[in-house]
């Protein structure tokens, strides 16, 4: 007899998509200045690209356990493929787990940065990013 285990996962973060003409480090520097964070290099997120070679998407992360803050900036688009295929037009993904700062406040501040062209809220499941982003749970 075959049994299937079904598990419904609800992310405890807000996912934002960002378009920017600058690279990871420049965007992270700007976000650090705007929010007082300390985004620094973290693990790569490995994503299968079907028949193509897997892609490794660099990430930068700021965690303050005392304040209940975890912010992760991930490069979405690489020449070899996308991390979130449903957000192919967005350069970066930002995972926001902040108990004091609402996602709409983060979006408003990001929109004010000269390095940011566009910001939007994303559904992690719909855009295909939920499974690869579980490495940060």
> Is the whole-model pTM more than 0.75?
yes
Q: DSSP assignment, residue 120?
A: E
**Which residues in the chain land under pLDDT 50?**
none
CA–CA distance, 72 with 60 (Å, rounded to integer): 6
- For residue 98, what pLDDT is reported? 83
pLDDT value of position 8 = 64
pLDDT of res. 81: 86
Residue 101, pLDDT score: 82
- Locate the domains of the chain by residue range: 14-136
Question: Which phi and psi angles does 73 have, rounded to 5°?
Answer: -105, 125
Position 5 scores a pLDDT of 58
Residue 122 contacts by C-beta under 8 Å, 6 or more apart in sequence? 15, 16, 17, 84, 86, 87, 90, 93, 129
């Amino acid at each position: 007899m075959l049994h299937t285990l079904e598990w419904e996962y609800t992310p405890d973060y807000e996912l934002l998509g960002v378009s920017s003409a600058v690279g990871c480090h420049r965007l992270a520097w700007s976000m650090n200045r705007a929010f007082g964070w300390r985004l620094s290099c973290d693990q790569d997120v490995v994503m299968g690209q079907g028949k193509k070679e897997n892609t490794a998407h660099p990430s930068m992360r700021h965690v303050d356990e005392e304040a209940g803050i975890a912010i992760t900036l991930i490069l979405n688009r690489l020449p070899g493929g996308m991390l979130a295929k449903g957000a192919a037009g967005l350069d970066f993904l930002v995972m926001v787990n902040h108990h004091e700062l609402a996602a709409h406040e983060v979006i408003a501040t990001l929109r004010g940065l000269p390095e940011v062209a566009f910001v939007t809220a994303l559904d992690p499941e719909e855009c295909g990013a939920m499974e690869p982003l579980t490495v940060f749970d």
